[in-house]
Structure 1
Amino acid sequence: MREFSLPALYEVPADGNLTDIVRRNAAQHPDVAVIGRKVNGTWTDVSAKDFLSEVHAAAKGLIASGVGPGDRVGLMSRTRYEWTLLDFAIWSAGAVTVPVYETSSPEQVQWILGDSGAVACLVELDVHAKAVESVRDRLPGLAHVWQIETDSPETGAIAELGRAGADVADGTVEERGSLAKADDPATIVYTSGTTGRPKGCVLTHRSFFAECGNIVERLRPLFRTGECSVLLFLPLAHVFGRLVQVAPMMAPIKLGHVPDIKNLTDELASFRPTLILGVPRVFEKVYNSARAKAQADGKGKIFDKAADTAIAYSRALDTPPGPSLGLRLKYKTFDKLVYSKLRAVLGGRGEAAISGGAPLGERLGHFFRGIGFTVLEGYGLTESCAATTFNPHDRQKIGTVGQPLPGSVVRIADDGEVLLHGEHLFKEYWNNPGATEEALSDGWFHTGDIGTLDEDGYLAITGRKKEIIVTAGGKNVAPAVIEDRIRAHALVAECMVVGDGRPFVGALVTLDEEFIVRWAEDHGKSAKTAADLRDDTELLAAIQQAVEDGNAAVSKAESVRKFRVLGAQFTEESGHLTPSLKLKRNVVAKDYADEIEALYTS
């Protein structure tokens, strides 16, 4: 057994709650822009005092409509300004926010709103309103549904709440907003449900204070008030998105929202954030898109040489001598030709990024640091209020998910499981004492992840206990290690390793719909869909290269011997991915049983 901890850098208020943040900002930084809001295609600043005013106006409407202290209020929307506004308004009304993924099915909506006992729900679009309405007869406690975006701004949720609360006194909302204490629930975030019904994870105001307060203090140079900014494009129904929302407010620094990541490049260029928080797939897309564009322009070899130089330069930074003179000269040349253009794609002002949700990959980590844009990898779960470890800006160890959150402890149990302790942890699973007792036994949260701690307290995640595959030969295989390496290839959308009880390890692979079209054009293929190309010899050779790259990370007994390219995609709509894009392995195994069998019989 091994454990590591760091002292807390932030003291959690004894009796405060998250509404204190917006009140403090308005008092201490009244004219500082805390939000960048897109209005008619142009970014417009919202000051701390104006944001507080809008929060209080919406909170008054909730109070006037009968939302009481401790009541649960659903929030189903894409990532936009109103999400943050309403989140703080719900807290200011003394209530508890229950986020719902905007892609959720009516059945999922009914489960989350019903299990949480929500008395009201705020939705964004007609499609969300219809989803709630279709199950409303099974939600007897749901008294109100407000819609953010309607045909007329005068009929939208913000305007409607403003009218409803017009007669509520300022003192009433101030009093209501002060009722919740640090250990009271702030939100109930439902887990992705990879193996069954989603569980409602109760995160307190203390959880967010401990989480975001310590992150901001440890990474203070990245959270400079009046200078730094963050562009939020993650779903706010996910706990990582909530971290990205609350931490900038605590600093405070300017926060912007992007509802559709299809336009992410344009939004980065116009908002120009200094800090980006995202998932590995975003950074993989940046790299793969840049490389594909270079190849299309006949500059593929130059890009590859530049990438190799950036990686070598980054690796040399971790050695005592540092980069050699020759390497520094090559680096300077490629910085003008390639790296500066890549930094421009990320907005041009970017200083760093924080990546979580899945492993980034060591090569990609060195690539981004090498081009002058450091990606700090972290690790966390819904139950740990997002990040429970992260790489500090001044002591990064690429290939690890960093050191524990200050004020918390990470322990590696005798069987390799990662255990956590700290104020940032969740309080309980809503209405599920059995699951709570199992997860929080002996005062430690049992993550279900397998990992190691080095002598400096840096954590490396090697797999999940429940996902360990045992081959017919008795070899234990952690699929995440090799899947992440294979998935990093531009052509690969998803990869699922199989082989439990089988003679060797195999894999199911789906193709990236965006890059398969570009690849087909570059290789003179008339067919351009995954279904048409799944048996193409050249394509299979390219996927084989991705598999070999993945195999390089594991022993021969753990390596993928055979793979099958599927003609379809793993998506949330198909039921194969959770809203946070995690594989539902049991569903994939059932639906693609014939493909898996073919790996071992063909």
Structure 2
Amino acid sequence: MNAPLTKLPVPVSWAKHADGQPATLVAALARNAAESGDRVAFRERKYGVWQELNWREVLAEVLAMAVALEARGLAPGAALIVIGDNRPRLYFSMLAANVLRAFPSPVYPDVPLDELVVSTRHGAPIIAVAEDQEQVDKLLDLRARIGRPTTIIYDDPRGLGTYADAGIVSFEAVIAEGRARLEREPGLAAELIGRAGPDDVTVLLHSSGTTGQPKGIPLSHRNVTRGVLNAAESGYFHAHEELFAYLPTAWVGDFVFTLGAGLMMVATINIPERQETVMHDLREVAPTFYLAAPRAWDQMLTRIQVGMKNSTPLKRKLFDIFMPHAVALERKRLAGGQPSIGERLINGVGEVLVYAPLRDYLGLGRAERAFTGGEALGEDTFLFFRALGIKLKQFYGQTETCALTAAQAEGRVKLHTVGRPMAGVELKIDESGEILVKSPSVISGYFDDAEGTAKAIVDGWLHTGDAGFIDEDGDLIVLGRVSEVVRTAAGERYIPNFIENRLKFSPYIRNVAVIGAGRDRLTAIVCIDFDAVGHWAEERRISYTSYADLSQKPEVMDLIGTVVAHVNTLQPEGLRVRRFVNLHKDFDADDGEITRTRKLRRNVIETTYGALIHALYGTERQTVFDAAITYESGEHGMIRRTLTISEVPV
């Protein structure tokens, strides 16, 4: 990071809620600089060394960026494209836009050009902020396609020294310009901090686009600040957290749980060196708050299991003795039972020999608050981490609610619920079974979409599109999307995602699509988890050459068959999967089969794999499938695969 910037005057007042708390993220930044200026705000691992900036230095850099962005034409109500992995200056640019009453529109860093065009259509952004050369190249392609952005500001200069395209400028140059003006106009800093208001847009995010073009979802400063404060009142955030910024910047989970909570709770935001070093850097940070998607927890469990298999005989023996005991004890606790003296003694020994070392190995030794959300987490995975001493809990929310609707509280954790509404959140179920939410964290409407807004928000209530119910203890249970409720030919009503989640509880299944609407039985297209199944195969001396080869091994077909058969025991007779096929590849966002947040695009899957689905409802045991592929060059081709169709024992 750079040397500390010149200290800037901080105004004595800023936008506040009625309770005196900051009402904008800019106000929170000013408050932190004034009251906790020397506390570490951002810590970034760069070239193997953790480098720090305190809140006073962050405010100075944000204001310098804001001045320079204003000079380049960033106006109130305009969007700023932000693309790249987690970097301090990308976060600072978001706040700089907020200073000007503009808003960032972050984009997933791996989006292809066609998706980038869609993701940047709102707000007609003329300025973009990019992490590195790869993203600059992508933005230049975007400019060639649609004529903007005219200005591209980059953080990492490597590879960009010879670029002669107009409008490409480094953050170094931009910040230097801003500093110079701030020094010339000493009253400007205070004036800048006072511009943003609670109802200004603080970020423009996008829906996953599972059924069409993504909607623009504008979160206001009021939505984020009040939502975080309500969550803190419910005990889900604490002051001075250690946060770990590794989630995609275009996901609501990163903006609200990292940047929003970091500012409002005066936390320290730790940023890994790169995505490849996340697990290593996590161990060094040991955050107090940790959020991960269900698949990430599954992968972490697989990593532990693989590590133990390759460990010493003594460590394997200790793991095999104490972990089953811990899981059984946690299951007993969740059922309302109390551990006996003997169980507590065994658990105490396990804590010293197994549980604490494993938590430290994962980097979660200090994680007092650990959460998962977005979809259901497998019961085995959930129990494992809680048994390990990590207080893992489920939460529920959508981008439209700042992801802050309901969450489990310690002492009231149940396996199949997402907890109770947070403070300030009203929740009800309408006659169709849809979950409705009213809260200060709920958006006022979609971006430039009056029709979509009128459908989604009625009398202040957000129609979430999710089906669910509230149990006798007041806990919310989410079943799936209302729009995905379908019926078999026999008229049985079901939600495919609910069955898919149960199948994905297995570490051996990464993705799955359940087919059956209007048909006489259910079938499934399964994508194996290459790492987990690969390790399983290696332990059994089953050789393979690729994902496609491994997926079609008879032993692997039998393995997946046992998973499907187990899930069938939990399903009514008419809603059991009768046949399945292991796909030769995983579903891919670049192929449009899933969204960037890994939600299925069913219409794409049913079109792409129409011939395969037809075979699933036939009688043959094998089918030849011509699969379309896209090479890295962008060229398209076809590859022929012979896929095995398996019957599931009744």
**In the alignment, structure 1 residue 185 sits paired with structure 2 residue 201:** yes
CA distance in 1 between counterparts of 2:261 and 2:66 reads 21
CA distance in 1 between counterparts of 2:321 and 2:18 reads 48
Aligned-residue offset at 1:295: 2.9
Q: Which amino acid aligns with 2:486?
A: I
Partner of 1:66 in structure 2? 73
Q: Spell out, residue by residue over 1:243-263, the C-alpha distance to the aligned partner (whole angstroms, 9 max, x if none).
A: 122112211121112364443
Partner of 1:195 in structure 2? 211
Q: Which amino acid aligns with 1:322?
A: Q
- Closer, same or farther: CA 506–337 of 1 in aligned 2, 3 Å: farther
Q: Which amino acid aligns with 1:199?
A: K
CA distance in 1 between counterparts of 2:268 and 2:428 reads 35
Match of 1:282 among 282, 296, 307: 296
Contact 2:100 2:196 (C-alpha < 8 Å) held by counterparts: no
**In the alignment, structure 1 residue 464 sits paired with structure 2 residue 477:** no
Partner of 1:212 in structure 2? 228
CA distance in 2 between counterparts of 1:125 and 1:279 reads 26
Partner of 1:159 in structure 2? 172
- For these two proteins, the number of residue pairs brought into alignment is 590
- Closer, same or farther: CA 12–219 of 1 in aligned 2, 3 Å: same
CA distance in 1 between counterparts of 2:151 and 2:614 reads 50
- Closer, same or farther: CA 326–521 of 1 in aligned 2, 3 Å: same
Partner of 2:272 in structure 1? 258
Partner of 1:237 in structure 2? 250
Q: Spell out, residue by residue over 1:276-321, the C-alpha distance to the aligned partner (whole angstroms, 9 max, x if none).
A: 1111111111112211222344676764554432222112223555
Partner of 1:57 in structure 2? 64
CA distance in 1 between counterparts of 2:67 and 2:331 reads 55
Aligned-residue offset at 1:141: 6.0
- Closer, same or farther: CA 381–231 of 1 in aligned 2, 3 Å: same
Match of 1:570 among 583, 587, 600: 587
CA distance in 2 between counterparts of 1:353 and 1:147 reads 34
Q: Which moved more, 1:124-133 or 1:320-329?
A: 320-329
CA distance in 1 between counterparts of 2:294 and 2:142 reads 35
Match of 1:582 among 587, 593, 599: 599
Q: Which moved more, 1:189-198 or 1:134-143?
A: 134-143
Partner of 2:439 in structure 1? 422
Q: Which has the larger radius of gyration?
A: 2
CA distance in 2 between counterparts of 1:593 and 1:336 reads 54
Could you state the TM-score of these two structures normalised by the residue count of structure 2?
0.86
Partner of 1:176 in structure 2? 192
- Closer, same or farther: CA 195–343 of 1 in aligned 2, 3 Å: same
Partner of 1:536 in structure 2? 553
Q: Secondary structure at the match of 1:472?
A: coil
Match of 1:22 among 15, 20, 29: 29
Q: Secondary structure at the match of 1:135?
A: helix
Aligned-residue offset at 1:336: 3.4
Could you state the TM-score of these two structures normalised by the residue count of structure 1?
0.92
Q: Spell out, residue by residue over 1:6-57, the C-alpha distance to the aligned partner (whole angstroms, 9 max, x if none).
A: xxxx967799421001110011111111222213212223211111112112
CA distance in 2 between counterparts of 1:270 and 1:316 reads 33
CA distance in 2 between counterparts of 1:383 and 1:453 reads 21
Q: What stretches of structure 2 of length at least 5 have no aligned partner? A: 1-16, 162-167, 620-650
- Aligned Cα RMSD in Å? 2.3
Partner of 1:431 in structure 2? 448
Match of 2:513 among 492, 496, 508: 496
Q: Secondary structure at the match of 1:240?
A: helix
Contact 1:485 1:549 (C-alpha < 8 Å) held by counterparts: no
Match of 2:361 among 341, 345, 349: 345
Q: Secondary structure at the match of 2:85?
A: coil
CA distance in 2 between counterparts of 1:106 and 1:33 reads 37
Q: Which amino acid aligns with 2:214?
A: P
**In the alignment, structure 1 residue 92 sits paired with structure 2 residue 107:** no
Q: Spell out, residue by residue over 1:446-465, the C-alpha distance to the aligned partner (whole angstroms, 9 max, x if none).
A: 11111111233211111111
Partner of 1:249 in structure 2? 263
Q: Secondary structure at the match of 2:392?
A: strand
Q: Which amino acid aligns with 2:380?
A: R
Q: Which amino acid aligns with 1:229?
A: E
Pairs within 5 Å for 1:288-437? 288-297=302-311, 303=319, 306-347=322-363, 348-437=365-454
- Closer, same or farther: CA 482–84 of 1 in aligned 2, 3 Å: same
CA distance in 2 between counterparts of 1:121 and 1:379 reads 32
Aligned-residue offset at 1:577: 1.5
Aligned-residue offset at 1:499: 0.7
CA distance in 1 between counterparts of 2:217 and 2:85 reads 21
Partner of 1:107 in structure 2? 114
CA distance in 1 between counterparts of 2:246 and 2:522 reads 36
Structure with the larger RCO, 1 or 2 (CA within 8 Å, 6+ apart) = 1
- Closer, same or farther: CA 216–248 of 1 in aligned 2, 3 Å: farther
Partner of 1:3 in structure 2? none
Q: Spell out, residue by residue over 1:361-388, the C-alpha distance to the aligned partner (whole angstroms, 9 max, x if none).
A: 3332222121110112101111111221
Q: Secondary structure at the match of 1:386?
A: coil
Partner of 2:638 in structure 1? none
Q: Spell out, residue by residue over 1:414-465, the C-alpha distance to the aligned partner (whole angstroms, 9 max, x if none).
A: 1111111111111211111111111112331111111111233211111111
- Closer, same or farther: CA 321–380 of 1 in aligned 2, 3 Å: closer
Match of 1:554 among 571, 576, 580: 571
Contact 1:233 1:259 (C-alpha < 8 Å) held by counterparts: no
Partner of 2:626 in structure 1? none
Q: Which amino acid aligns with 1:263?
A: T
Aligned-residue offset at 1:475: 0.8
Contact 2:209 2:215 (C-alpha < 8 Å) held by counterparts: yes
Q: What stretches of structure 1 of length at least 5 have no aligned partner? A: 1-9
Q: Which moved more, 1:292-301 or 1:430-439?
A: 292-301
Partner of 2:140 in structure 1? 133
CA distance in 2 between counterparts of 1:260 and 1:409 reads 39
CA distance in 2 between counterparts of 1:492 and 1:304 reads 24
- Closer, same or farther: CA 163–34 of 1 in aligned 2, 3 Å: closer
Q: Spell out, residue by residue over 1:456-477, the C-alpha distance to the aligned partner (whole angstroms, 9 max, x if none).
A: 3211111111122311111111
Contact 1:11 1:210 (C-alpha < 8 Å) held by counterparts: no
- Closer, same or farther: CA 416–533 of 1 in aligned 2, 3 Å: same
Contact 2:548 2:583 (C-alpha < 8 Å) held by counterparts: yes
CA distance in 1 between counterparts of 2:246 and 2:570 reads 31
**In the alignment, structure 1 residue 223 sits paired with structure 2 residue 223:** no
CA distance in 2 between counterparts of 1:14 and 1:330 reads 46
Q: Spell out, residue by residue over 1:333-386, the C-alpha distance to the aligned partner (whole angstroms, 9 max, x if none).
A: 433343223201221322231111111133322221211101121011111112
Contact 1:36 1:254 (C-alpha < 8 Å) held by counterparts: yes
Q: Which moved more, 1:254-263 or 1:524-533?
A: 254-263
Contact 1:22 1:249 (C-alpha < 8 Å) held by counterparts: yes
Q: Spell out, residue by residue over 1:485-510, the C-alpha distance to the aligned partner (whole angstroms, 9 max, x if none).
A: 22122222111111111111111111
CA distance in 2 between counterparts of 1:37 and 1:535 reads 44
CA distance in 1 between counterparts of 2:484 and 2:358 reads 36
Q: Which amino acid aligns with 2:517?
A: D
CA distance in 2 between counterparts of 1:137 and 1:421 reads 43
Contact 2:82 2:104 (C-alpha < 8 Å) held by counterparts: yes
Q: Which moved more, 1:455-464 or 1:553-562?
A: 553-562
Q: Secondary structure at the match of 1:398?
A: coil
CA distance in 2 between counterparts of 1:451 and 1:86 reads 39
**In the alignment, structure 1 residue 43 sits paired with structure 2 residue 36:** no
**In the alignment, structure 1 residue 267 sits paired with structure 2 residue 274:** no
Q: Secondary structure at the match of 1:79?
A: coil
Q: Which amino acid aligns with 1:176?
A: L
Q: Secondary structure at the match of 1:601?
A: coil
CA distance in 2 between counterparts of 1:521 and 1:290 reads 16
